[in-house]
A and B are shown apart, each in its own frame.
Chain A
Amino acid sequence: MPIERVVCQWCQAMNEKSAVSCRACGAPLDIKNLVSESGWREAPRIKDMTEIHFGQSTCQVEGEIVPVAEINLGPGDSIFFEHHVLLWKDDATQMSVMTLQGGVSRVLAGMPFVISVATGPGRVAFSRDATGELVVLPLHPGMELDVREHAFLLSSHHISYSFVRIKGLRNILFGGQGMFMDRFVTSNEPGLLILHGYGNVFERVLKPGESILVEPGAFLYKDATVTMNVEFQQLKSGFFGGSGMSLARMTGPGRIGIQSMYIHHNTE
């Protein structure tokens, strides 16, 4: 007799029929997917104390206003993360540093020079510093995801981390996200990536050639296939000259994620 399974609408993972939340991303399976008429899907509101499984480890999501990701690392599993997101850890959890290429460029661009690594067994917990949502993105083999700098909370060691330089002077100056974006790539194994989005997080899948204009400070993540170009719109106001507005044109195919409490950048 075939075993009945429930597919998670957020990450497509298969779950047992009796499960109330997805084993891979924590999304509730017993509530309706919230999609706006304009096509934005709200990131699933992960219920307090939901457990997520990856490798030999688990992640428990605690709290709802500024959620905490508490990781119980299995032996041999590890995660990496930026400075300033560590909330607490067990004494026994092993810590090390992942050295990165292009250190000088990263320092000049205001990005972290070192990425820390925690290795199991042991517990370690993370949170950011503002109201928002944890966005749990299980990455399947062969996926490439670009993330706004300082938005990633932690990633499992199955995912390789690099950074890509944002192309074009206009994109750097008016794109509101500096010179680099973080890039997460999976090879043969699936991995877990957790971001913290400020405010509420929404995702939309763009078709090939379809484009949308987004406030650059609202950009959170995108598939590597989505292109981003900043456009400047001049708004005139007679004697006073007016004002300008920069918007990022995101063109598909692929996913794009935005946050509603965006990081404002100066456009004038």
Chain B
Amino acid sequence: MTEIERTYTCAWCNTVSDGTALSCAGCGVSIDVRQTVTKSGWIEMPGRHDMAKIQIGNSHLQIEGEYVPVADFSLAEGDGVYFTHHVLLWMEPQIKVTSMGLKGAWKRLFAGMPLIMTQAAGPGHIAFSQDHSGELIALPIQPGAAIDVREHIFLAATSNTTYDWFSTNVWYTTRNGNERETHYPLGMFMDRFFAPTTPGLLLIHAAGNAFIRHLAPNETILVKPTALLFKDPSVQMHLHLEYPRGGRFSWGLFSTWYYRHIWLRLHGPGRVAIQSAYKHMEENGRNIVSYSPATQAQW
């Protein structure tokens, strides 16, 4: 009699494990709970057992706590992680900390992005957390694969993943008299993480709850720009503007939109993930005079 195969493919990170453990080996989410999928097709990030462990080469990661989870790395000799400023919680004194210079410093400076990444090398323990409640998401990156992450979401990544950034090309300009103001609903840049040869691990912190869905080729969905967490590079995005009837207030030469929607339209194929506690965008209601490629609708 042949033994029944018990492999399990994680719906969250696609890692295939032997199905005997309680947590996914790639991202640490519980596999002994029923997957929660909304009727609209969003998969809710499964809960994680407190103190869940993820093996990364010779090092491992333990995720501790549930309100504001902590990512506690046990780095082996020769292994390392890099991270942005302001997420370091504690570290052992023997951890070696250095800075990792980034290209395009001027542009990053003007875009309000961190100028340097900090890198930590083992052996030893080092731990990270964000400063608001939410979920900690571990994303394994397979060799040759990449993930695009909205700015300021990233927590830490293993040293075998490369870090790059690209212009979002999602913007619009408003005018008030002679004054023009350019807005970047997604931020000017997005982070891209790539694992060239060996599997890497990326950690991000979602505010509130996190949901993921797989878009089929040419399938589209509209999301609030600040709700986007990450996407596969195959997912294309552009601006979508919606103007409800009666959403504009005009008096003489003065006119302002007190009610309109600025969306991000995402085109499949690929994964997209969103967070439930997104920041509201500042909207000055002025007329939009130019914008990046966009679709529009009135209703």
Stretch at the interface among A69-77, A82-90, A196-204: A196-204
Q: Report Cα–Cα, A65/B134, bound state, in Å.
A: 12
Stretch at the interface among B18-26, B89-97, B155-163, B192-200: B89-97
Q: How far is the CB of A27 from chain B (nearest CB, A)?
A: 15
A218-B90, A237-B101 known; A260-B85 Cβ under 8 A: no
B74 contacts the other chain (CB 8 A): yes
Residues of B near A211 (CB, < 8 A) are 93
B294 contacts the other chain (CB 8 A): no
User: In chain A between 31 and 77, which residues have their CB closer than 8 angstroms to a CB of chain B?
Assistant: 34, 36-38, 40, 42, 65
B51 contacts the other chain (CB 8 A): yes
Among B60, B67, B85, find the residue whose CB has the most chain A CB atoms closer than 10 A: B67
B66 contacts the other chain (CB 8 A): yes
| Complex contact A261–B129 (CB within 8 A) | yes
Number of interface residues of B (CB under 8 A): 38
Q: Report Cα–Cα, A38/B69, bound state, in Å.
A: 15
Residues of A near B127 (CB, < 8 A) are 38
Residues of B near A132 (CB, < 8 A) are 67
Q: Report Cα–Cα, A236/B88, bound state, in Å.
A: 17
Residues of B near A107 (CB, < 8 A) are none
| Complex contact B105–A264 (CB within 8 A) | no
Q: Report Cα–Cα, A38/B60, bound state, in Å.
A: 11
| Complex contact A38–B72 (CB within 8 A) | yes
Residue of A nearest to B97 (CB): A233
B265 contacts the other chain (CB 8 A): no
Q: Which of A42, A198, A212 contacts B64 (CB 8 A)?
A: A42
| Complex contact B64–A213 (CB within 8 A) | no
Q: Report Cα–Cα, A261/B68, bound state, in Å.
A: 6
Q: Report Cα–Cα, A133/B69, bound state, in Å.
A: 13
Residue of B nearest to A233 (CB): B97
Q: How far is the CB of A10 from chain B (nearest CB, A)?
A: 16
Stretch at the interface among A108-116, A180-188, A239-247: A239-247
| Complex contact B90–A261 (CB within 8 A) | no
Q: How far is the CB of A134 from chain B (nearest CB, A)?
A: 12
Number of interface residues of A (CB under 8 A): 38
A126 contacts the other chain (CB 8 A): no
Q: Which of A218, A240, A243 contacts B89 (CB 8 A)?
A: A218
Residues of B near A262 (CB, < 8 A) are 89, 129, 131
Q: How far is the CB of B72 from chain A (nearest CB, A)?
A: 5
| Complex contact B67–A36 (CB within 8 A) | no
| Complex contact A131–B133 (CB within 8 A) | yes
A2 contacts the other chain (CB 8 A): no
| Complex contact B64–A202 (CB within 8 A) | yes
A169 contacts the other chain (CB 8 A): no
Residues of A near B133 (CB, < 8 A) are 131, 199, 261
| Complex contact A199–B101 (CB within 8 A) | no
A218-B90, A260-B89 known; A131-B98 Cβ under 8 A: no
Residue of A nearest to B136 (CB): A260
Interface 1/0s, chain A 214-232, versus B by CB < 8 A? 1100100000000000000
Residues of B near A142 (CB, < 8 A) are none
Q: Which of B67, B88, B93, B116 contacts A65 (CB 8 A)?
A: B67
Residues of B near A237 (CB, < 8 A) are 99, 101, 105, 115-116
| Complex contact A214–B89 (CB within 8 A) | yes
A258 contacts the other chain (CB 8 A): yes
A102 contacts the other chain (CB 8 A): no
Residues of A near B68 (CB, < 8 A) are 131, 198-200, 260-261
B164 contacts the other chain (CB 8 A): no
A residues lining the B interface (CB < 8 Å): 34, 36-38, 40, 42, 65, 131-133, 198-200, 202, 211-215, 218, 233, 235-240, 242-243, 245, 247, 249, 258, 260-264
Q: 25 A-B contacts, Cβ less than 8 Å apart?
A: A36-B62, A36-B72, A37-B72, A38-B74, A38-B127, A40-B72, A42-B65, A198-B68, A199-B129, A200-B67, A202-B65, A211-B93, A213-B93, A215-B90, A235-B118, A237-B99, A237-B101, A240-B105, A240-B116, A242-B99, A249-B93, A260-B65, A260-B89, A261-B129, A261-B131
Additional A-B contact list (10), CB under 8 Å, known A37-B74, A202-B70, A218-B129: A38-B74, A213-B92, A218-B90, A237-B99, A237-B105, A243-B99, A245-B97, A260-B68, A261-B67, A261-B68
> 5 shortest A-B CB distances, which residue pairs?
A199-B68, A200-B65, A235-B99, A261-B68, A131-B133
